[in-house]
Amino acid sequence: MTAKLLTRVDPSRLRSLAVTAAIVGLVAGLAAAAFASVAGEPAIGDAIAIEEANAAAHPESATAHEEEASVSRRDQRGIGLFGAYALTGAAFGVLLALTAHGLRRGRPNIARRVMVAGVILSGAFTVAPWLKYPPNPPAVGNPSTLGERQSLYVAVICIAATVGVGATILSRRLRAGGWPDHRRVAAVAIAVAVPMLVVFAVLPPAPDAVTVPATLVWRFRVASLGANLTLWGLLTLGVGWLAAEAVRRRDPAEADHRPVPSPA
């Protein structure tokens, strides 16, 4: 099956790369959902128990809570969780293909481009928001602050993506200028860390107070980070490997003589 798929992959064509990445992303999403189901669902169950206890203590808010819970927990844990991660993985796959295609200037090695794109996107969509505004389980968060929380979250994603793209441009120019790898990597790391630290310091803190046990919150947060990094890791490695193998099968001589890429 893998060999048949490789014969249809043409990394030089955006459409072929995007379709391949979407399929890999769907599979990676299912794997991430399995991770989330094992690592994150217990924390969610505990948080819901706290939320229900609070609702019982304040009956005036229980009616609104019951109206919002239109999907059963069984569906949320099953088709809801796996379907959401699968669709997200497919969407991230297309975005990975678009980003890798956009980085083709000065980077003929498709596997290298995919890895660089994966680092940028996972950093922008997962790591940076998690560091500044980590997710919270049920029972944390006021519905009235939802819009503010979403705006701050999207702002961090956009800023981190911009910094990541700028870092790749800087890395390419430093390489063209003859900088040795250890100096280039250090310069790029500083160029990413400094602006992101400034952004984290300038942006306001999360608007909601955490009123549930810290251990419960951090169990959920770590599980969420692990699931998302599982998705990005499998997606990036899978697409990079498939694209590299497709290139090798199409042009073995070129692949055999291509230098091993160094870290971006």
| Closest of 103, 130, 128 to residue 117, by C-alpha | 103
Neighbours of 88 (CB within 10 A): 19
**Distance from C-alpha of 6 to C-alpha of 115, rounded to nearest angstrom:** 19
| pLDDT at residue 179 in the model | 93
Answer for the pair 221, 36: CB distance below 8 angstroms, yes or no: no
* Confidence (pLDDT) at 82: 94
Tens-binned pLDDT, residue by residue, of the chain (264 aa) = 555 555 567 777 888 899 999 999 999 999 999 999 999 888 888 888 887 776 666 655 544 444 455 667 677 778 889 999 999 999 999 999 999 998 887 777 889 999 999 999 999 999 999 999 998 887 677 778 888 989 999 999 999 999 999 999 999 899 889 999 999 999 999 999 999 999 999 999 988 887 788 898 999 999 999 999 999 999 999 999 999 988 887 765 444 445 444 444
Tell me the two tokens of residue 133.
Answer: 């505004």
Sign of CA pseudo-dihedral 4, 237, 27, 98:
negative
Rounded to an integer, what distance in angstroms lies between the CA atom of residue 139 and that of residue 136? 8
- Look at residues 81, 90, 83 and name the one whose alpha carbon lies nearest to residue 38: 81
Q: Taking Cα atoms as reference points, which of 104, 114, 113 lies closest to residue 239?
A: 114
Q: How many Cβ atoms are within 10 Å of 29's Cβ, its own excluded?
A: 27
Tell me, what's the pLDDT at 263?
A: 47
Q: What is the structure's pLDDT at 154?
A: 95
What residues have CB less than 8 Å from 101, skipping those under 6 apart?
14, 17, 113
pTM for the whole structure: 0.84
Task: Supply the pLDDT for residue 64.
Answer: 45
